[in-house]
Chains A and B, each alone.
Chain A
Amino acid sequence: MAKNFKKQPDAISLGRAIAEGDIKVKLSMVIMGFGCMARKQIGKGLLILLFEISFIYFMVSNGLYNLSMLPSLGWRKQEKVLNSAGFYEYQQGDNSVILLLYGVATLFIVAAFILLWIIQMKLAYKLQVREETSLHINSLKEDIKSLFDKNLHMTLMTFPCLGILFFNIVPLVFMITMAFTNYSKEDDHLILFDWNGLVNFGRVLNIRGNIGKQFWSVLLWTVIWAVFATFLNYIMGMILALIINRKNTHFKSFWRFCFVLSIAVPQFVSLLIMHTMLQQQGAINVILQNMGLISSPLPFLQDPIWARVTIIIINLWVGIPYTMLQVTGILQNIPGELYEAAKMDGAGVFTIFRKITLPYMLFVTAPYLITSFTGNINNFNVIYLLSGGGPTYVGDTAGQTDLLVTWLYKLTIEKQYYNIGAVIGIMTFIVLSITALVTYRNSASYKNEEAFM
């Protein structure tokens, strides 16, 4: 059945279904699933019709109201009114967040309905074509059977896709819409708020404003951080892996175990420990002072420059074993002849590393490098648990070591500046997609797929 369908992939389109469909297909435009019901697929047709009826019921009972509130996002304030019994009672006002959420959700439901409509139109027309050419039409039982065979992907992927839709896409769209409102604790717009166009984007990008100034400095630090964190970890992790894997190193698995142990401990535990150890009164300062090496505590996380360097170094502690673990397998894939040839030509250890190992690894692991770069831009744990983004200057919402993500967290969860937070989220996405795109396009493995094969 599937094969016949594949032979004429463009024969079935919505346009043709509307233009060339017979009366049964045309009726499906109004009574969804009619085309199926009229052509022996009663079960499927009824199911589609059931969806249509429930959609109409939903739209009449809630959906239309939800959509109608979307442009204004509500205006009724919560008020005290005198009820008939002579008491004051609170009359519930509009809650813009809820209205926005329901509005967005309704838009998704409408979109899903339109999609279903298109699919069933095509299906109705397909059945017509099959009937005209006297091909077999599947019964419900056969359809269900095919869900475990040819169409297994539909069965297996439905729930994961629904999960992603409800817990990722809908919330994301909902957050993105917030960027165009004045939903914020500023000026008390937490319950009632309005659309305000691109005002928030202007505020974030304007370098002369308070928010804008912070945005550009946070962005700069985010990029610096991601570059250092990614490449230092990558190079040093690789060197460590090479040292452990070299021929003359003894106790290979013991060394590997030592380093793996440090990442086996949950990251939040080790980072929280580091955080307490690096305080002014923390273990490191106290012990160094008792040993007489320093006279006053070192400002590991208190001075902006110190804090930034400390964080990059601690991140090496976190990241090097990971890289070591990840590249170990790949390093062993490097063709041995390359090394032999280089040695014959009298190349030293460093030349071999620079001319063979590094280019090979860069070539093979380019996608991994991109993921780890984007992962570092989004590296919430290290910053939040280690420095909390601090030190923070008075009047700022962003600290000196805040990344865009931790700033986003602070703005939304702690400060409740939801609109600015949403803009920062979108900006993070833009930064990430640009870097991912540019690096991927310029990476050797994209330009020349078979260089090392």
Chain B
Amino acid sequence: MEDRITFKKNKAPLGKRIGNLLVHIFLAALACLWLLPILWIILTSLRGEQGSYVSTFFPKTYTLGNYVKLLTDTSILNFPKMFMNTLIIAIFTCIISTFFVLSVSYCLSRMRFKMRKPYMNMAMILGLFPGFMSMVAVYYILKAIGLSEGTMIRVALILVYSACAGMGFQIAKGFFDTIPKSIDEAAIIDGATQWQVFTKITMPLSKPIIVYTILTSFMGPWVDFIFAKVICRANADQYTVAIGLWSMLQKEYIHSWYTCFAAGAVLVSIPIATLFIFMQKYYVDGMAGAVKG
């Protein structure tokens, strides 16, 4: 790769060319460093030898058995079930929190009301408390309303993931702030209500941020670890993917499940990574908008 660069850039003085080459070598080295763990986990998921003790970087034998075991051996750690649990939770969380985030951000960006500033300040102050400080209390509340056992755990997790979505309005609000207000005003003069402005004008103009909000809230339950752990406790049949993978690395399972863990990690990472790469543009734009606003 570096060769091509050197002879393509032949106009620049030699010193600059060497500098440029060094920069590319440096970037290549860094990229290797960053991709190494990912390569490692993919190789491990295909490794024929069991156990976490390895002596070489590349496996001695390759197999797809780990994936087969992960998806079919449901006696101890039921990965397909965990996957379905997480999928259901993620879909509902996604719907509720997208609605919450978009409505709160729209109100804060477009409407002026008495509680606007207090609300924003409150969100900032609440954000300074450690997120799961209230976890124990939330658990007791869920227990008090009967959501801490059996299949109700799913409902509990959906509530936990989506209930506080209204506090994460910054990026979407930053985006709405960049839509010219004159559009709204024109519509209102033409007799549109605020609701119509929200649904018929702002929403169609905000596809990027809607996509971003949907994807982030969908990904939340897949990558969260502690909330699920505190709420599921010992109910292994309600585990989400994250806790399932974590428990594969615990002392009692690690020897026979380590390579399956890698397979599971790959399976979970592929969709998440695809979504993330797909939405990184929106993420960058959102950040730039939020900082400007």
Contact = CB atoms under 8 A, between A and B. Distances in A.
B265 A169 contact: no
A97 interface: yes
B178 interface: no
Contact of B141 (A164, A170, A381): A170
A274 B36 CA distance: 11
A159 interface: yes
A259 interface: yes
A374 interface: yes
B265 A161 contact: no
Interface in A303-345: 317, 321, 325-326, 328-330, 333
A263 to B, nearest CB: 7
Interface string A370-402: 000010001011001100000000000000000
Chain B at the A interface: mostly helix, strand, loop or mixed? helix
A317 B15 CA distance: 31
A420 B40 CA distance: 41
Interface stretch (B60-68, B70-78, B193-201, B205-213): B193-201
Contact of B126 (A169, A259, A412): A169
A380 B129 CA distance: 13
The 7 closest A-B pairs by CB, nearest first: A160-B166, A171-B134, A171-B137, A329-B288, A163-B163, A156-B103, A264-B273
Interface in A97-120: 97-98, 101-102
Contact of B104 (A160, A381, A425): A160
A7 interface: no
Contacts of A161: 119, 166
A13 B91 CA distance: 46
Contact of A266 (B31, B222, B288): B222
Nearest to B5: A250
Given A164-B126, A168-B167, A428-B130, A270 B31 contact: no
Contacts of B38: 261-262, 265, 270
Interface of B: 1, 5, 9, 12, 16, 20, 23-24, 26-27, 30-31, 33-35, 37-38, 40-41, 52-57, 100, 103-104, 106-107, 111, 113, 116, 119, 123, 125-138, 140-141, 144, 159-160, 162-167, 193-195, 198, 219, 222-223, 225-226, 230, 242, 245-246, 249, 258, 261-262, 265, 268-269, 272-274, 276-277, 280, 283-285, 287-288, 291-292
Interface of A: 97-98, 101-102, 145, 148-150, 152-153, 155-157, 159-161, 163-164, 166-172, 174-175, 240, 243-244, 246, 248-251, 255, 257-270, 272-277, 279, 281-283, 286-287, 290, 317, 321, 325-326, 328-330, 333, 364-365, 367-368, 374, 378, 380-381, 384-385, 404-405, 408-409, 412-413, 418, 421-422, 425, 428-429, 432-433, 436
A204 to B, nearest CB: 15
Contacts of B242: 266, 268
A264 B276 contact: yes
Contacts of B26: 243
A160 B195 contact: no
Given A163-B165, A260-B277, A268 B245 contact: yes
B280 A174 contact: no
A409 B132 contact: yes
A164 B163 contact: yes
A42 to B, nearest CB: 25
Contacts of A258: 31, 34-35
Contacts of B287: 325-326, 329-330, 368
B226 A329 contact: no
Contacts of B167: 164, 168
Looking at A150, A257, A326, A436, the one whose CB has the most chain B CB atoms below 10 A away is A326
Contacts of A368: 287, 291
A273 B40 contact: yes
A409 B283 CA distance: 30
A281 B285 CA distance: 44
A408 B230 CA distance: 13
B195 A270 contact: no
A248 B129 CA distance: 45
Contact of A153 (B107, B129, B133, B273): B107
A374 B137 contact: no
A272 B27 contact: no
A101 B139 CA distance: 11
Looking at B33, B162, B291, the one whose CB has the most chain A CB atoms below 10 A away is B291
A215 to B, nearest CB: 15
B104 A156 contact: yes
Nearest to B285: A329
A168 B106 contact: no
B23 A243 contact: yes
A409 B41 contact: no
B53 A281 contact: yes
Contacts of A150: 194
A203 B223 CA distance: 36
A163 B166 contact: yes
Contact of B125 (A98, A326, A329, A433): A433
Given A171-B134, A436-B128, A152 B284 contact: no
Given A163-B162, A170-B141, 4 more contacts: A101-B137, A240-B30, A325-B287, A421-B136
19 contacts: A98-B140, A152-B111, A156-B106, A157-B104, A166-B141, A172-B137, A175-B136, A246-B23, A266-B222, A272-B261, A273-B37, A287-B55, A290-B56, A317-B33, A326-B283, A326-B287, A405-B130, A409-B226, A425-B133
Contacts of B54: 283, 286-287
Contact of B273 (A155, A159, A261): A261
A157 B130 contact: no
B255 to A, nearest CB: 12
A385 B163 contact: no
A210 to B, nearest CB: 22
